[in-house]
A and B are shown apart, each in its own frame.
Chain A
């Protein structure tokens, strides 16, 4: 149980392209979903927290107009990297949780490469 599917796994695209990443909880309803970014040799860095039906809460230093998050249902959240540039190349991973003080269940991550 508690499976989170993240798609796509890999994206390679040209600078200026917008890229959408999907995060789905397959066998549970996630009241909260999280989006993380990992730079090489660094730990997971929380970008934003999203609750179903409400606006995402972004961490300090994360541009909300650059990283658009939509959490339209209890099983789906999307992260759109708008007008991506090479510096946006990174590993992005989502997680989902049912209630507070319960563990987060992670997707497999998306490796984004912007040429």
Chain B
């Protein structure tokens, strides 16, 4: 089974800080990289689906980049707000191995 890693495991930031975290995934047979946001007591919410090397996507204050050659993606949050507190999951979709999720980064934004 392919390995997807995320770092850091958890993160505490002050409101207004910008932050970023990393997802490492297998670069071989890569098809797509997904980012999800999972708040407690809610269902995971899709943020981005990225397929092209060098791709950069943005949704409000959240953006993500993708490097398929070296197998990593960064998620950035600009000006963090308390409502950004959640677990951020990435999932790698590789040919021959469907959807392997990383362990997640738990973000807490302190007011």
Using a CB–CB cutoff of 8 Å, the interface residues on chain A facing chain B are 4, 6, 34, 36, 42-46, 49, 57, 59-60, 93, 95, 100-109
Asked if residues B103 and A43 are in contact (CB atoms below 8 Å), the reply is yes
Q: Is the CB of A107 within 8 A of B43?
A: yes
In the complex, the answer to whether B49 meets A101 with C-beta atoms within 8 Å is: yes
Q: Can you sample 11 A-B contacts with CB below 8 Å?
A: A4-B43, A6-B43, A42-B103, A44-B101, A46-B101, A57-B98, A100-B32, A103-B49, A104-B34, A106-B43, A106-B44
Report the minimum CB–CB distance from A42 to chain B (whole Å): 7
B-side binding surface: helix, strand, loop or mixed?
Answer: strand
Q: B99 touching A43 by the CB < 8 A rule? A: no
Min CB distance, A52 to chain B, in Å? 17
Q: Is the CB of A34 within 8 A of B43?
A: no
Q: How far is the CA of A102 from the CA of B36 in the complex (A)?
A: 12
Please tell me if the beta carbons of B1 and A109 are within 8 angstroms of each other in the complex: no
Among B32, B48, B99, B100, the residue within 8 A (CB) of A34 is: B99
In the bound complex, how far is the Cα of B34 from the Cα of A103, in angstroms?
Answer: 7
Q: Within the assembled complex, what's the spacing in Å between the Cα atoms of A77 and B101?
A: 21
